[in-house]
Amino acid sequence: MSLLVPVAFLLFFSSSTIFGMGSDEVERSELCSKEVPPDPCTLPELKLDERFGACGEKIELGVTKDKPETVKFPDVGEDEQYVLVMVDPDVPSYNNPVTQLWKHWVVAGISGEALSAGTLDGFPLTSYMGPTPPPGKVHRYNFYLFKQTTEKIIGGDGSSRAYFNLADFMEKNNLCTPEAGFQFKTETLNK
């Protein structure tokens, strides 16, 4: 029985050394969840300029044609970098989201200092595309703010907006659960 404890310790220590996982890597992999809540309003709130209202509110479509002038999150590491992703999970409709997710905007390399001041100093990987829901259909537009852990972000380019796989994007770029989120809803009115 006394031999089992040292052998178990040796096996654990050896396996983490053999597979090249130092204690920092083991700790990060254990703490890093790749889950994204379907409702970004359950996350700490990302603040957009006042025309976008509060998280989860329905706003007029015309307000959304231009990107937010202010994107603010004060609870950041000023020396950290962040990635902002905006998606529509309701394409073509809330009840039939077969094209989800539709990528509307991806900005990488945003400094914590800029975020705490309410500005975006990063570089757009996908330029902002305002919402264009079909007439009579309310769509949700979700924003997620991730802490950037790699120098280069891949897979967020503007080549294809349809069928954006957020989980795959997170995996490729070693992004954990979002730091903050925001959502607004809007619709194109029937004429």
Band of residue 158 on the pLDDT scale cut at 50, 70, 90? low
Cα 152 to Cα 146: distance, rounded to the nearest angstrom = 14
Asked whether residue 11 carries a pLDDT value surpassing 60, the answer given is: no
C-beta atoms surrounding 146 within 10 Å: 24
Q: Shortest CA distance to 143 belongs to which of 86, 90, 89?
A: 86
138-148 vs 180-187, strand pairing mode: antiparallel
Cα 109 to Cα 113: distance, rounded to the nearest angstrom = 11
Whether the upstream peptide bond of residue 11 has omega within 30° of 0, thus cis, is no
What is the identity of the amino acid at 92?
P
Asked whether residue 2 carries a pLDDT value surpassing 80, the answer given is: no
Cα 140 to Cα 129: distance, rounded to the nearest angstrom = 14
What's the confidence (pLDDT) of residue 14?
37
Band of residue 84 on the pLDDT scale cut at 50, 70, 90? very high
What's the confidence (pLDDT) of residue 35?
74
Asked whether residue 173 carries a pLDDT value surpassing 70, the answer given is: yes
Instruction: Share the mean pLDDT of the chain.
Output: 83
Band of residue 31 on the pLDDT scale cut at 50, 70, 90? low
Helices (H), 32-163: 112-117
What's the confidence (pLDDT) of residue 160?
86
Going by C-beta distance under 8 Å and a sequence separation of 6 or more, which residues neighbour residue 102?
87, 88, 89, 91, 161, 162, 164
What's the confidence (pLDDT) of residue 93?
87
Q: What are phi and psi of 108, to 5 degrees?
A: -115, 165
Asked whether residue 63 carries a pLDDT value surpassing 80, the answer given is: yes
Domain coordinates in residue numbering, the chain: 1-31, 36-187
pLDDT tens profile 94-124: 888 888 799 999 999 999 999 999 988 999 9
Residue bearing the bigger pLDDT, 50 or 1:
50
Provide the strand spans (E) within 127-170.
Answer: 138-148
Looking at domain 36-187, does it have CATH number 3.90.280.10? yes
Q: Shortest CA distance to 121 belongs to which of 175, 89, 167, 80?
A: 80
Band of residue 190 on the pLDDT scale cut at 50, 70, 90? confident
**CA 134 vs CA 72, 94, 188: distances in Å:** 30, 11, 6
